[in-house]
Amino acid sequence: MTNDFVGCEMENLDQSSMRVVINRCGGAIPAAEMARQCQAAMAQGEEAVMGISHVAPTLVFIRDDGWMLAASEKFEAIAHEMWEDKWVGFCRFPSTTVQDIADYIPSSF
């Protein structure tokens, strides 16, 4: 199977279905909701931001159908295991370029 996502810039992919892992059970929320929560926390101050910093995404996995799952370092392994045989690409921030899943090296968190 060819991987049409590798080399793409994240901004050029449809991110409307992206979800963000928020707990060790693999629970996830839409990325738009995560962004809303981050904005609300920033408006409340540093303590509120610290309260959600453990779920701030540091990478995004991309499935063979284009669906995406973002995760923080803390939940990276959980996200990777969820569809391990379906991931075709990933993007680890601050990079914005999708890499082949064969090049994925787990975080050492």
Q: Given its phi and psi angles, is residue 100 left (phi above 0), alpha (psi -120 to 50 degrees) or beta?
A: beta
- Tens digit of each residue's pLDDT (9 = 90 or more) over 72-101: 999 999 999 999 999 999 999 989 899 999
- Tens digit of each residue's pLDDT (9 = 90 or more) over 39-51: 787 788 766 656 6
Please tell me the distance from the alpha carbon of residue 15 to that of residue 10, in angstroms, as a whole number.
8
Residue 95 lies in a domain: yes
Residue 4 lies in a domain: no
Residue 51 confidence (pLDDT): 64
pTM of the model: 0.83
Residue span of the structural domain in which 33 resides = 10-103
Q: How confident is the model at residue 105 (pLDDT cuts 50, 70, 90)?
A: very high
CA 9 to chain centre: 14
CA dihedral 60, 63, 69, 70 (to 10 degrees): 0
Q: Radius of gyration of the chain from Cα atoms?
A: 14
Q: Are 98 and 13 within 8 A, CB to CB? A: yes
Q: Report the number of distinct structural domains present in the chain.
A: 1
What is the pLDDT averaged over residues 44-62? 77
> What average pLDDT is seen over the chain?
86
Would you say residue 11 has pLDDT above 50? Answer: yes
Task: Say what percent of the chain tops pLDDT 90.
Answer: 50
Q: Which residues, including other chains, have CB under 8 Å from residue 44's CB and lie 6 or more apart?
A: none
Residue 82 lies in a domain: yes
Neighbours of 55 (CB within 10 A): 20
Please tell me the distance from the alpha carbon of residue 106 to that of residue 37, in angstroms, as a whole number.
27
Task: Say what percent of the chain tops pLDDT 70.
Answer: 88
Tokens of 35: 């962004």
Residue 65 lies in a domain: yes
Residue 55 lies in a domain: yes
